[in-house]
Amino acid sequence: MRIRTFLIIYAFLFLPLCMCSSSSTSQDYSRVIPATEKQINHIKEGLEEGFSISNEYAIKSNDFKKVNFVACNLNGPGVSDAVAVWAITGDPDEPGMIVCADHTAKEFSVYPLGSKTKAEISMADEGARIVEEYLRKKLYLK
Protein backbone atom coordinates (compact mmCIF):
# COMPACT_ATOMS: atom_id res chain seq x y z
CA MET A 1 0.00 0.00 0.00
CA ARG A 2 2.80 2.45 0.84
CA ILE A 3 4.59 1.76 -2.43
CA ARG A 4 1.40 2.45 -4.41
CA THR A 5 0.83 5.72 -2.53
CA PHE A 6 4.45 6.72 -3.13
CA LEU A 7 4.17 5.98 -6.86
CA ILE A 8 0.97 8.00 -7.17
CA ILE A 9 2.48 10.97 -5.33
CA TYR A 10 5.64 10.68 -7.44
CA ALA A 11 3.62 10.59 -10.66
CA PHE A 12 1.62 13.69 -9.77
CA LEU A 13 4.49 15.75 -8.35
CA PHE A 14 7.62 14.86 -10.25
CA LEU A 15 6.68 13.60 -13.71
CA PRO A 16 5.16 16.93 -14.78
CA LEU A 17 8.40 18.66 -13.74
CA CYS A 18 10.44 16.23 -15.80
CA MET A 19 8.24 16.72 -18.83
CA CYS A 20 8.54 20.52 -18.58
CA SER A 21 12.31 20.49 -18.38
CA SER A 22 12.65 18.33 -21.48
CA SER A 23 10.46 20.52 -23.67
CA SER A 24 12.29 22.62 -26.23
CA THR A 25 13.02 26.21 -25.39
CA SER A 26 11.95 29.00 -27.66
CA GLN A 27 14.51 30.49 -30.01
CA ASP A 28 16.02 33.89 -29.25
CA TYR A 29 15.39 36.15 -32.25
CA SER A 30 16.67 39.35 -30.63
CA ARG A 31 19.63 39.55 -33.04
CA VAL A 32 17.47 39.35 -36.18
CA ILE A 33 17.08 42.72 -37.89
CA PRO A 34 15.78 43.96 -41.24
CA ALA A 35 18.38 43.55 -43.98
CA THR A 36 19.94 46.77 -45.24
CA GLU A 37 19.11 48.18 -48.65
CA LYS A 38 22.67 47.43 -49.79
CA GLN A 39 22.39 43.78 -48.72
CA ILE A 40 19.06 43.49 -50.51
CA ASN A 41 20.41 45.06 -53.71
CA HIS A 42 23.45 42.80 -53.59
CA ILE A 43 21.23 39.72 -53.54
CA LYS A 44 18.97 41.12 -56.29
CA GLU A 45 21.97 41.60 -58.60
CA GLY A 46 22.46 37.85 -58.76
CA LEU A 47 18.87 36.61 -58.99
CA GLU A 48 17.82 34.63 -62.02
CA GLU A 49 15.67 36.61 -64.46
CA GLY A 50 12.05 36.99 -63.39
CA PHE A 51 12.75 36.46 -59.68
CA SER A 52 12.34 38.90 -56.82
CA ILE A 53 12.81 38.89 -53.06
CA SER A 54 10.79 40.31 -50.17
CA ASN A 55 10.66 40.12 -46.36
CA GLU A 56 14.44 40.40 -46.03
CA TYR A 57 15.94 39.80 -42.57
CA ALA A 58 19.56 39.52 -41.44
CA ILE A 59 21.58 38.23 -38.52
CA LYS A 60 25.28 38.59 -37.79
CA SER A 61 27.00 35.24 -37.51
CA ASN A 62 28.81 34.37 -34.31
CA ASP A 63 30.87 31.76 -36.19
CA PHE A 64 32.44 34.24 -38.62
CA LYS A 65 33.86 37.67 -37.82
CA LYS A 66 32.26 39.57 -40.72
CA VAL A 67 29.42 37.45 -42.10
CA ASN A 68 25.72 38.21 -42.07
CA PHE A 69 23.09 35.67 -43.04
CA VAL A 70 20.14 37.13 -44.94
CA ALA A 71 16.87 35.22 -45.32
CA CYS A 72 14.27 36.35 -47.86
CA ASN A 73 11.12 35.21 -49.54
CA LEU A 74 11.80 34.31 -53.14
CA ASN A 75 9.16 34.69 -55.86
CA GLY A 76 9.25 34.03 -59.57
CA PRO A 77 8.01 31.67 -62.26
CA GLY A 78 6.67 28.60 -60.45
CA VAL A 79 7.97 29.78 -57.05
CA SER A 80 5.91 31.55 -54.42
CA ASP A 81 7.29 32.72 -51.05
CA ALA A 82 10.11 30.17 -50.95
CA VAL A 83 12.59 30.92 -48.16
CA ALA A 84 16.19 31.33 -49.30
CA VAL A 85 19.31 32.20 -47.27
CA TRP A 86 22.50 33.91 -48.40
CA ALA A 87 25.70 34.71 -46.48
CA ILE A 88 27.24 38.10 -47.14
CA THR A 89 30.67 39.19 -45.92
CA GLY A 90 31.50 42.70 -44.75
CA ASP A 91 29.47 45.24 -42.86
CA PRO A 92 25.72 45.46 -43.58
CA ASP A 93 26.19 48.85 -45.29
CA GLU A 94 29.30 47.71 -47.17
CA PRO A 95 28.52 44.15 -48.29
CA GLY A 96 31.27 42.09 -49.86
CA MET A 97 31.35 38.54 -51.15
CA ILE A 98 28.05 36.68 -51.26
CA VAL A 99 27.40 32.94 -51.27
CA CYS A 100 24.30 30.82 -50.99
CA ALA A 101 23.79 29.26 -47.58
CA ASP A 102 21.05 26.92 -48.79
CA HIS A 103 20.09 25.12 -51.98
CA THR A 104 17.04 27.30 -52.62
CA ALA A 105 19.23 30.40 -52.87
CA LYS A 106 21.61 28.49 -55.15
CA GLU A 107 18.85 27.25 -57.44
CA PHE A 108 17.54 30.75 -58.18
CA SER A 109 20.68 32.92 -58.10
CA VAL A 110 24.09 32.97 -59.74
CA TYR A 111 26.02 32.92 -56.47
CA PRO A 112 28.02 29.81 -55.51
CA LEU A 113 26.88 27.42 -52.83
CA GLY A 114 28.86 28.40 -49.73
CA SER A 115 29.53 24.83 -48.66
CA LYS A 116 31.41 24.26 -51.94
CA THR A 117 33.72 27.27 -51.44
CA LYS A 118 36.83 27.66 -49.29
CA ALA A 119 34.68 29.50 -46.75
CA GLU A 120 32.57 26.35 -46.24
CA ILE A 121 29.54 28.43 -45.19
CA SER A 122 26.30 26.51 -44.82
CA MET A 123 23.00 26.37 -42.97
CA ALA A 124 24.84 24.53 -40.19
CA ASP A 125 26.65 27.74 -39.24
CA GLU A 126 25.39 29.77 -36.30
CA GLY A 127 22.81 32.33 -37.33
CA ALA A 128 21.70 30.75 -40.60
CA ARG A 129 18.95 28.60 -39.10
CA ILE A 130 17.91 31.33 -36.68
CA VAL A 131 17.17 33.89 -39.40
CA GLU A 132 15.52 31.24 -41.61
CA GLU A 133 13.28 30.10 -38.76
CA TYR A 134 12.46 33.71 -37.86
CA LEU A 135 11.24 34.40 -41.40
CA ARG A 136 9.22 31.18 -41.57
CA LYS A 137 7.52 31.93 -38.24
CA LYS A 138 6.86 35.54 -39.25
CA LEU A 139 5.13 34.36 -42.42
CA TYR A 140 3.13 31.75 -40.54
CA LEU A 141 1.84 34.32 -38.06
CA LYS A 142 0.63 36.75 -40.74
pTM of the predicted protein model:
0.80
For residue 12, being part of any structural domain is answered with: no
For residue 92, being part of any structural domain is answered with: yes
C-alpha span between 20 and 14 (Å, rounded): 10
For residue 124, being part of any structural domain is answered with: yes
Each residue's pLDDT tens digit, 19-33: 443 334 578 899 999
For residue 127, being part of any structural domain is answered with: yes
**Domain hosting residue 100, numbered range:** 33-140
C-alpha span between 123 and 38 (Å, rounded): 22
For residue 23, being part of any structural domain is answered with: no
Instruction: Quote the number of domains for the chain.
Output: 1
**Chain Cα centroid distance, residue 63:** 14
For residue 89, being part of any structural domain is answered with: yes
Each residue's pLDDT tens digit, 35-91: 999 999 999 999 999 999 999 999 999 999 999 999 999 999 999 999 999 999 999
Q: Quick check: helix, strand or coil at residue 120?
A: coil
**Sequence-ordered strand ranges (E) for the chain:** 33-34, 52-60, 67-76, 79-91, 94-100
Number of helical H runs and strand E runs in the chain: 5, 5
